[in-house]
Structure 1
Amino acid sequence: MTVIAVVDYDMGNLHSACKGLEKAGATPQITDSAQELERADAVVLPGVGAFDPAIQHLRSRDLIQPIKDIIASGKPFLGICLGLQILLENSEEGHELGLGVIAGTVRRFRPESGITIPHMGWNQLQFTQPNLPLWQQLPADPWAYFVHSYYADPTDSTVTAATITHGSQTVTAAIAHNNLMATQFHPEKSSTSGLQILSNFVTHVNSLQFATAHS
């Protein structure tokens, strides 16, 4: 059975993400143990809330370097919402340094007429990495559920895997680079398409295990 560690650092409800992974056939393991993260077949870093407390909670659990090492090792890694933002170097929301795995800054939406901040509700994804494993079997421009006032602005635009448009602003909705994938939206709250994305992640992890076992 595929074990997917879900990082527990007091930043959001982990239950719905775990339910989605269970539906996809994985065994989610909620943990704040670096050793258990290293033993798992893949890692999910969810998160709801503010940038600085997220980094502080990870630091208090001695998880910052282990998470960086796990990503560097090539293990499949999925960030969700705040779990995407803290992968970048810094944020306009706070003063803490992010994990710095992805070069770039987390920026606040610019106020403009006719848009709400936070950006909250359903929006359509525009794929910029259409062949990404996460997007398999999805319709074109699927709807996903968002709750955020800040968005990732990576230095290298090629790591952007999907965008959304909010008012006149087109921003990053997902990133992907090698074994690292992350979504600004909540797949676990994004109905059929979101559950398909979580299922695709599990399938991707399983395919890598199979390839390793038969290499």
Structure 2
Amino acid sequence: MKKIIIIDYGLGNLRSVYRGLEKSGAAPLISSDPGEIGAAEGIVLPGVGAFRDGMEQLGEMKETLLETAGKVPVLGICLGMQMLLDWSEEHGMHRGLSLIPGTVRRFPRKKGYKIPHMGWNSLRCARDGDPLLEGLTGGEYVYFVHSFYADPDPGYSVATTDYICNFSSVIGKGRVYGVQFHPEKSGSVGIRILKNFIDMVE
């Protein structure tokens, strides 16, 4: 079985991500051990909470993740996706992992819209033929819970979603990907995306 490590840094629905990967055909391992993370064949960075807290709690795992990313596929989920970018505006400017160029921004206030963006919303493919979205045609619904969104540099948006503004709901650079939604809570569509990620793992 492919060795996929779910990074445990104290923030995130680790068990639900674990079960989602299991349903998708993987045998994942939850770990905070830099040695295990460095030996992974694929890495998942989940997360729920504040950007600054997430970056601080990565600790020495941060360097291991930066060294390993690109050598093996990486998937950031929700906060984990946002941490892949250069900066976040959440509670001041905070530096991210800079694995994908871009900034995390807060949704602007707009009459008739609630923040956080919570519930089901659809994907629109922005990059044809991307392996993470193989088998999807666009328009599929996935489950979101977030108050901030990814604004990557041009060319790194894989799919977009409309809520208050058109934002990047899937980002990617090389073998590093991020999804703003929760694939483990997104039914058969989420399972398909996780399977596609697993298929990238050699």
Question: The TM-score by the shorter chain falls in which range?
Answer: over 0.9
| 3-state SS, counterpart of residue 6 of structure 1 | strand
- Greater C-alpha radius of gyration: 1
Moved more, 130-139 or 145-154: 130-139
Matching residue within 176, 188, 192 for 2:188: 192
1:84 aligns with 2:81: yes
Which whole-Å CA distance do the structure 1 matches of 2:103 and 2:195 have between them?
29
CA RMSD of aligned residues (A): 1.1
Which whole-Å CA distance do the structure 2 matches of 1:75 and 1:204 have between them?
9
TM-score normalised to structure 1 length: 0.90
Using the aligned pairs only, state the percent identity.
Answer: 43
| 3-state SS, counterpart of residue 113 of structure 1 | coil
Higher helix share: 1
Which whole-Å CA distance do the structure 1 matches of 2:49 and 2:97 have between them?
16
Letter in 2 for 1:91: S
1:148 aligns with 2:146: yes
| 3-state SS, counterpart of residue 112 of structure 1 | coil
Residue of structure 1 equivalent to 2:6: 6
| Alignment of structure 1 residues 116-155 onto 2, 5 Å | 116-154=114-152
Matching residue within 170, 193, 207 for 2:166: 170
| 3-state SS, counterpart of residue 115 of structure 1 | coil
| 3-state SS, counterpart of residue 165 of structure 1 | strand
Number of residue pairs the alignment of both structures matches: 201
Residue of structure 2 equivalent to 1:18: 18
Residue of structure 1 equivalent to 2:45: 45
Instruction: Give the ranges of 4+ consecutive aligned residues of structure 1 lying more than 3 Å apart after TM superposition.
Output: none
| Alignment of structure 1 residues 61-100 onto 2, 5 Å | 62-72=60-70, 74-94=71-91, 95-100=93-98
Letter in 1 for 2:161: I
Which whole-Å CA distance do the structure 2 matches of 1:16 and 1:130 have between them?
29
Matching residue within 182, 199, 204 for 2:200: 204
Q: Could you tell me how far 1:140 is from its partner in structure 2?
A: 2.7
Q: Please list every run of 5 or more consecutive structure 1 residues that lacks an aligned counterpart in the other structure.
A: 210-215
Which whole-Å CA distance do the structure 2 matches of 1:98 and 1:177 have between them?
15
Which whole-Å CA distance do the structure 1 matches of 2:119 and 2:154 have between them?
25
Q: Could you tell me how far 1:38 is from its partner in structure 2?
A: 1.5
Letter in 2 for 1:53: D
User: C-alpha offsets along residues 160-214 of structure 1, whole Å, 9 cap, x if unaligned?
Assistant: 00100113x1011010111111100110010110011111111221xxx2xxxxx
Which whole-Å CA distance do the structure 1 matches of 2:49 and 2:81 have between them?
12
Letter in 2 for 1:199: K
Residue of structure 2 equivalent to 1:213: none
TM-score normalised to structure 2 length: 0.96
1:161 aligns with 2:179: no
